[in-house]
Amino acid sequence: MSAEVRFFEVGPRDGLQNEKTIVSPSDRVTMIEKLSSTGVRDIEIGSFVHPRWVPQMAHTEEVAAGLSPVEDVRYWALVPNLQGLKRAIGCGIDHVAVFMSATEAHNRKNLNRSLDESLASLEETMQAAGSNQMSIRAYISTAFGCPYEGEVDFEQVLQIGDQLLSNGAEHLSLGDTIGAGTPPQIREGCRRAVNAFGADRVALHLHDTQGLALVNALVAFEAGIRFFDGAVAGMGGCPYAPGAAGNVASEDLINLFTQIGADCSVDLDAICEASSWLHSEMGLSGSGRYLAYWQAQQDEEGS
């Protein structure tokens, strides 16, 4: 299993957005700088949504202004609409992510729009982003289960994905937003997505609600997925998805793929150091599993 696996770090956005603690812009910059030194090439630094919706993501302009470019690292920001895109452009962001759900109920709860209304709005936003030579990632939430509708028709996920790619997305991120996906379901859905769009255009975004995230990551890898989202320390969740647990921890994913011999190009110790800093210095919680093992090893080596 020597294939290359690429990671997309969502901790500074999706990880922090569901934390009760509000992290200052300067500490968010420190967090991103620590992650930038790990070998991860894509980092989501925040979102340009109204702070009334997600107060943890206020002052993302300050975060963007505080970052220095790092070679081969792309900084991304989530934008909900044209107004958010204008804010991203205003502070020099070159890579943006857009989002919608795979189900009507979650999309209306999250965005107060129907699926068709979201697709029309995103087409306009994505065209504007493309005109500004920006890279675009597209999230499809609740791709493997919805807190309001239950089981999701994956054919609809593929149809939405096709439209988002046609509108200019570089790749899709398929979200198991509430962690409802089972290994057979994840395997089949990922196989279909890879066959439809190609392995270079599909990422998988897992939450560890059932403790199945690493198993799901492994079967997705076997189905052809080579691009995985993770949040350092396993932080996160979705404010509009009842029951969602934290994201799968970046350090858990990297340890998994390192152990099976995949080419990760990420420093596992450096990711664990960032995770440890978030716990000890920032007082943030998380659901990662590997960190405790790593810390015990560090203590033994230091004794």
Give the pLDDT confidence score for residue 21 in this predicted structure.
87
Q: What is the spatial distance between Cα 141 and Cα 198, in angstroms, rounded to a whole number?
A: 19
Identify the bridge partners of residue 38 per DSSP, sorted by sequence position: none
- Alpha helix ranges (H) inside the chain: 25-36, 60-66, 82-90, 104-111, 115-131, 154-166, 183-197, 213-222, 250-259, 268-280, 290-302
Among 146, 190, 238, 272, the one annotated catalytic: 238
pLDDT (0 to 100) of residue 168: 98
Read off the tokens for 201: 């255009």
- Location of structure tokens 């934390």: 19
> Which domains does the chain show, CATH number per domain?
6-302 (3.20.20.70)
One-letter identity of residue 274: A
**What does pTM read for this prediction?**
0.95
Amino acid at 162: D
Regions of the chain where pLDDT drops below 50: none
Residue 238 annotated as catalytic: yes
Write out pLDDT tens, residues 134-183. 999 999 999 999 999 999 999 999 999 999 999 999 999 999 999 999 99
**pLDDT value of residue 243:** 63
Closest by alpha carbon to 254, among 216, 219, 228, 223? Answer: 228
pLDDT the model gives residue 180: 94
Asked if residue 76 lies in contact with residue 119, where contact means CB atoms within 8 angstroms, the answer is no
